[in-house]
Amino acid sequence: MYFNLHTHRFSNDPEVLELVNQYPDEFDASIPQFSVGIHPWRIVPERLEQDFEVIEVKLSDNKCLAVGECGLDKRIETPMAEQIPVFERQLQLAEKHQKPVVIHCVAAYQETIDIKKKLSISVPMIIHGFSKNTQVAQSLLDNGFYLSFGKYLLRNPELESVFQSVPNDKFFLETDMIDETIRDVYEIAAKYKGISLDALQEITSENYRTVFKLKLSSH
């Protein structure tokens, strides 16, 4: 069984469990497993309360596996002073409902670490689409984060050593918006780790069980 930690497209492939990213203002109730959150790119002040109401309702649904993607992005026009309260409020909801968090983070790793500490967040926090160096990876791992790899594992050969340095119980794999399948990501990940596809599926299934407190059914 393949687990795709983060995707925006539901493929309905029986061999893949997909955590499909949903937005409160564009919700598709037919998706079997989803995360829901306010992305920093989609913060609309006059819609915030409405969005949070939707998130609160969806978090009580068994099909909702995580909060997110949410986070911080220093490369957009929305000021950090506006992004941080929205992110913090979602983390507090995740803590309240005991759901993991899928995080979008651009150039704000230290801030993300600091907020986790400040709010004493105990639920698993997963940085999706990780593409940075070993030092950033280590800093996040030391602070209890999980790292999810996808597009950049396929596109950037320099990420091989970073991925190899991440302990097997601390990573996930994803497709996000790319055209390649989750199988393509698993294949390169297995190659980099020097293990079989079956062994890799075993690792990600175990991580899924640990983080999401659910069993990944094998077909």
Q: Write the pLDDT tens digit of every residue in 128-175.
A: 999 999 999 999 999 999 999 999 999 999 999 999 999 999 999 999
**Residue 34 reports pLDDT greater than 60:** yes
- Any domain includes 86: yes
Instruction: Please check whether residue 217 lies inside any domain of the structure.
Output: no
pLDDT at 219 over 60: no
pLDDT for 101-112, tens place per residue?
Answer: 999 999 999 999
Query: For residue 219, is it within any domain?
Result: no
Quick check: 218 pLDDT over 80? no
- And the tokens for 2? 């393949």
State the Cα–Cα distance between residues 150 and 6, nearest whole angstrom.
9
pLDDT at site 155: 97
pLDDT given for residue 217 in this prediction: 64
Considering only CA atoms, which of 22, 28, 30 is closest in space to residue 65? 22
> What pLDDT sits at residue 175?
98
Answer whether residue 186 shows pLDDT above 70: yes
Per-residue pLDDT tens over the stretch 62-77: 999 999 999 999 999 9
Please, which pLDDT band fits residue 215 given cuts at 50, 70 and 90? confident
**What pLDDT was estimated at residue 210?**
97
Q: Is position 160 within any domain?
A: yes
Structural domain boundaries, residue 178? 2-212
Cα torsion 120, 58, 32, 99 to 10°: value is 10
The answer to whether position 199 is within a domain reads yes
Burial class, 117, CB count within 10 angstroms (exposed 0-12 / middle 13-18 / buried 19+)? exposed
3-state class of 104 per DSSP?
A: strand
pLDDT confidence of residue 51: 98
* Total domain count, the chain: 1
Which pTM was predicted? 0.96
192 found inside a domain: yes
Kindly state the tokens that stand for 92.
């507090």
Token look-up 């983060």 returns 6
CATH number of 122's domain: 3.20.20.140
The first and second tokens of residue 6, run together, are 């983060």
* Distances 50 to 22, 43, 54, 63, 81 between C-alpha atoms, Å: 15, 12, 6, 21, 20
